[in-house]
Amino acid sequence: MKSLCLVTVGVLAMTLLIASISLLVAHVFQTVVDLQVKQGTVLKNGTETFEAWEDPPPPVYMQFYFFNVTNPLEVLQGATPLVEEIGPYTYREYRPRVHIQFLDNGTKVSALNPKTYVFEPQKSVGDPEVDLIRTVNIPAVTAMEWTRSTPLQFATEVLLLLYQESLFTVHSVHELLWGYKDRLLSTIHVLHPEIDPVFGLFNKMNGTDDGEYVFLSGETSYLNFSRIVEWKGKESLSWWTTETCNMINGTDGTSFHPLINKDESIYIFSSDFCRSLFLVYDSSGAVAGVPTFRFVPSSMVFANTSVNPANAGFCVPAGNCPGTGVLNVSVCKQGAPIFLSAPHFYQADPKFIEDIEGMHPRKEYHETFLDINPLTGLVLRAAKRMQVNVHVRKLPEFFETGNIRTLIFPVMYINESVLIDEASASKLRHVLLEASVVTGIPFVIMALGIVFGIVFIVLVCRSRGISEESTEEERSPLIRTS
């Protein structure tokens, strides 16, 4: 009976150990979890995934920082501009998806994404309708660039003199953001109705959308979850000079496919940047107790063409490349000489930083990043940081430009950020706990195998000890003599 018990315990221990090792090597339970995640990450009406995609619960905040020019007269005489950062002016951003339609048997989804901004005074440094900013007169600079060396050049100069326009202007934060009626543009509007008489960096962007998107639902492949295939009815852009640069790649940056690894690149299409860009793995961390991978824009995205020849397609006109860290987007901004960069020219060519006194780039404040949970692909924390600059130079045809040096002049930058709310984080932690329990089953089986193995060894040792022990009576001769 003892031998049978011993054999049973030994066989059970060996079976459990072999089974656990086999399950770990074959990734059986991890495969089960991955399959459930893949099947759950599809845009289907009525699911939690769809509801979170339609109206993301975490609050989004948009912060605006302006660069106030403190020496405008000296700048017109050729001196280095001195700017002072003023901000933030913070707005709560609401961005539900509306007019949603399922296409092609549920494999595609179309939607509009209007954004509404509501001012948050307690998170701001002042009143945007009162605080004044001196900055580059973008309408005047644009008009001068439009008409120089054309028959309209003289008329533009007359209008600039008539309206007493200068290269720099003073307006409230509210006007610079949401728009003010510009006299110069109003006059041009009479001859060219397509020119908006109202100028604002975010003019007509409060309560409006940037066009219809068509996304893949993830029905055919989890890797295609929420990937953009059309924007404004087109499958590619037309602003740039190469097919690669005109591609619409990735998602809109609010959601990603599950099962992300450190070696892959995350693609995003941004209508603000007028292009697609990609992010690469930077570090691992945790947000609200949930593990994350941090992805940041690759240094190749805004590298000059000597480092990344593929960026030549973004040089418009061909060969006109501004340098590392700066993107000329005038081609998609009605010809206005707008250049985009990271705030304070972070990771840009040092010449841009040296040209403007008051630039202090810092990784923690000026880098764009995404903190993504690798299992689910959910964004837990993110910050999109973008700076708007104006290309200014001396134009001999217009005395308003004085002797100003050729500069990429910073106007303002944004910090659009999101942090997962506690309710969503708690729900995600519960999901991850369930996944951990399932994937931990092989280790539980292994632990049981080890326990039974220890029991088996103890029983064997005790059995041998008992067989070696004997009493004095047992050791005495069988036949005794008196």
Residues 289-345: tens digit of each pLDDT:
999 999 999 999 999 888 899 999 998 887 788 889 999 999 988 889 999 999 999
Instruction: Compute the distance between CA of residue 308 and CA of residue 46 in angstroms, rounded to an integer.
Output: 44
22 has a pLDDT exceeding 70: no
Q: For position 153, what pLDDT does the model report?
A: 87
pLDDT, tens only, 233-267: 999 999 999 999 999 999 999 999 999 999 999 99
Contact 96, 111 (CB under 8 A): no
Whole-angstrom distance, CA of residue 15 vs CA of residue 26: 16
> Residue 481: pLDDT above 90?
no
Residue 470 has pLDDT above 60, yes or no: no
Residue 478's pLDDT band (boundaries 50, 70, 90)?
low
**pTM, full prediction:** 0.86
Mean pLDDT, the chain, rounded, equals 87
Query: What's the Cα-to-Cα distance from 447 to each of 6, 379, 433, 460, rounded to whole Å?
Result: 19, 35, 20, 20
**What number of CA atoms fall less than 13 Å from residue 289's CA on the CB side?**
13
- pLDDT for 60: 95
Contacts of 61 (CB under 8 A, 6+ apart): 90, 91, 92, 93, 120, 123, 416, 417, 418
How high is the pLDDT of residue 428? 78
CA of 432: how far to CAs of 24, 47, 79, 290, 447, in Å? Answer: 19, 18, 58, 8, 22
- How high is the pLDDT of residue 285? 95
Pick 6 or 472 by higher pLDDT.
6
SS3 assignment, position 209: coil
Question: Percent of the chain having pLDDT more than 70?
Answer: 83
What does the pLDDT look like over 133-192, one tens digit per residue? 999 999 999 999 988 888 888 888 889 999 899 999 999 999 999 999 999 999 988 888
pLDDT at position 188, please?
87
pLDDT of residue 305: 87
- What value does the mean pLDDT take over residues 454-465? 69
Query: What one-character DSSP code corresponds to residue 403?
Result: T
pLDDT tens digits along 375-417:
899 999 999 999 999 999 999 989 899 999 999 999 999 999 9
Among 68, 141, 107, 123, smallest CA distance to 214 is for 107
- How confident is the model over 253-302, as pLDDT tens digits? 999 999 999 999 999 999 999 999 999 999 999 999 999 999 999 999 99
**CA-closest candidate to residue 82, choices 387, 358, 353:** 358
The band of 446, judged by pLDDT with boundaries at 50, 70 and 90, is: low
Where does the pLDDT of residue 91 fall: very low under 50, low under 70, confident under 90, or very high at 90 and above? very high
